[in-house]
């Protein structure tokens, strides 16, 4: 969703419509034929890959077992980079100034992992640079939640920030309730739990 909104420049288009400015502007881009790089090819990353392929995107991905060279190649090749890895000591600050410099001009960066996977200071510096490589940044996770109201990063027109909605829907909450109910029954009956974590 964020990749589509950023590539089509939806926020700018809504502002132009509100001002009743000229039609047909701003001109956005398509995702079909573009490359999506997924950092974290677990369950969520895998689902995103299928959806992106349905939009006609080429997909490349890396996992925790991928090499540094694989990550760098993904960053350089991708039109859209989407972060879906867990926050660990190894992934804290995984995307910093060095990695941002590898992105192709006009790239879109999405953070759906955890805020601190993306170095906030490096992102702010990149957005402030006259040679900024980013056409858009989608943030569904933040360095502090709730995100501070006075953080100037969120005022940048290239930043689309959402309140950690990635997996939230009415249907997800209904599935959570069903699983909870089912697991209560299973505990009473001495059966194995669904989606057991430990």
pLDDT (tens digit, 9 = 90+) per residue, 96-126?
999 999 999 999 999 999 999 999 999 999 9
Catalytic entry in 30, 145, 174, 191: 145
pLDDT at residue 168, as a whole number:
75
> Are 16 and 74 in a shared domain?
yes
- Looking at per-residue pLDDT, the higher value among 110 and 4 belongs to 110
Q: Does the pLDDT of residue 15 top 90, yes or no?
A: no
> Are 161 and 182 in a shared domain?
no
Tell me the whole-structure pTM to 2 decimals: 0.85
Domain that residue 184 falls in: 168-198
> Are 182 and 123 in a shared domain?
no
- Looking at per-residue pLDDT, the higher value among 27 and 125 belongs to 125
> Are 173 and 76 in a shared domain?
no
Average pLDDT rounded to a whole number, residues 21-26: 81
Q: Is the dihedral of CA 90, 46, 82, 165 positive or negative?
A: negative
Q: Order of strands across the sheet with 80-83?
A: 58-62, 35-39, 80-83, 107-111, 134-139, 159-161
- 26-35, 96-105, 166-175, range with the lowest pLDDT: 166-175
> Are 138 and 173 in a shared domain?
no
> Are 57 and 150 in a shared domain?
yes
Average pLDDT rounded to a whole number, residues 131-150: 93
> Are 25 and 121 in a shared domain?
yes
Average pLDDT rounded to a whole number, residues 151-176: 87
Q: Does the pLDDT of residue 197 top 70, yes or no?
A: no
> Are 108 and 157 in a shared domain?
yes
Q: Does the pLDDT of residue 196 top 80, yes or no?
A: no
Average pLDDT rounded to a whole number, residues 176-195: 92
Q: Are strands 80-83 and 107-111 parallel, antiparallel or unpaired?
A: parallel
Q: Please confirm, yes or no, whether 114 is among the known catalytic residues.
A: yes
Q: Does the pLDDT of residue 176 top 90, yes or no?
A: no
Q: Does the pLDDT of residue 171 top 90, yes or no?
A: no
> Are 93 and 22 in a shared domain?
yes
pLDDT at residue 13, as a whole number:
83
> Are 90 and 177 in a shared domain?
no
Q: Please confirm, yes or no, whether 158 is among the known catalytic residues.
A: no
Would you say 79 and 52 are in contact if contact means Cβ atoms under 8 Å apart? no
Q: Does the pLDDT of residue 131 top 80, yes or no?
A: yes
Q: Please confirm, yes or no, whether 145 is among the known catalytic residues.
A: yes
Q: Does the pLDDT of residue 192 top 70, yes or no?
A: yes
pLDDT tier for residue 92 given thresholds of 50, 70 and 90: very high
pLDDT at residue 198, as a whole number:
59
> Are 60 and 24 in a shared domain?
yes
Catalytic entry in 8, 16, 104, 164: 164
Catalytic entry in 9, 79, 84, 114: 114
Q: What is the CATH number of the domain that holds 29?
A: 3.40.50.720
> Are 49 and 99 in a shared domain?
yes
188 — alpha (psi -120 to 50), left (phi > 0) or beta? alpha
Report the domain count for the chain: 2
- Looking at per-residue pLDDT, the higher value among 165 and 2 belongs to 2
């Amino acid at each position: 969703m964020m990749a589509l909104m950023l590539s089509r420049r939806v926020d700018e288009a809504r502002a132009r419509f509100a001002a009743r400015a000229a039609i047909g502007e701003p001109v956005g881009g398509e995702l079909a034929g573009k490359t999506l790089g997924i950092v974290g090819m677990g369950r969520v990353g895998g689902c995103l890959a299928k959806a992106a392929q349905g939009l006609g995107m080429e997909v490349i991905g890396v996992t925790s077992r991928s090499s540094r060279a694989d990550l760098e190649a993904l960053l350089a090749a991708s039109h859209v980079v989407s972060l879906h890895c867990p926050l660990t000591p190894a992934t804290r600050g995984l995307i910093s100034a060095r990695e941002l410099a590898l992105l192709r001009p006009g790239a879109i960066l999405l953070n759906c992992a955890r805020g601190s996977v993306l170095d906030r200071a490096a992102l702010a510096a990149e957005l402030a640079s006259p040679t900024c490589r980013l056409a858009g940044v989608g943030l569904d996770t933040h360095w502090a939640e709730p995100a501070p109201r006075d953080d100037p990063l969120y005022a940048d027109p290239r930043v689309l920030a959402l309140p950690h909605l990635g997996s939230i829907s009415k249907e997800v909450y209904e599935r959570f309730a069903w699983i909870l109910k089912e697991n209560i029954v299973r505990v009473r009956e001495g059966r194995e739990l669904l989606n057991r974590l430990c």
